Amino acid sequence: MSQEARAPPSLGDLFVRTHTSSQTHDALDDQSREYFHKMKDLVGIDEHGTQLPLSDEIYREVMPPGGMDV
């Protein structure tokens, strides 16, 4: 059985994972919550109503220059 190679997470996905509380599943702070909402607004939804993946481009568009770069 072969294991399918997985792509590394995008910068947006990495930001969401590292700025979300594992206990409450909510943003760690108000600034992170604001970035989450901006990214979600830009990402869009597919024909099945599922949120599309956060791309590096969306992350770079939302985050301030020189800001919380990972």
What tens-digit pLDDT sequence spans the chain (70 residues)? 445 568 889 999 999 999 999 999 999 999 999 999 999 999 988 888 888 889 999 999 999 887 554 4
pLDDT at position 42, please? 92
What is the rounded distance in angstroms from the CA atom of residue 18 to the CA atom of residue 13? 9
CA gyration radius, the chain: 14
pLDDT at position 3, please? 52
Domain ranges of the chain: 11-62
pLDDT at position 67, please? 57
Contact 11, 60 (CB under 8 A): yes
pLDDT at position 68, please? 54
Q: Which residues contact 46 (CB under 8 A, 6 or more apart)?
A: 52
Contact 54, 13 (CB under 8 A): yes
Q: How far is CA 29 from the centre of its chain?
A: 15
Q: How far is CA 47 from the centre of its chain?
A: 20
pLDDT at position 65, please? 83
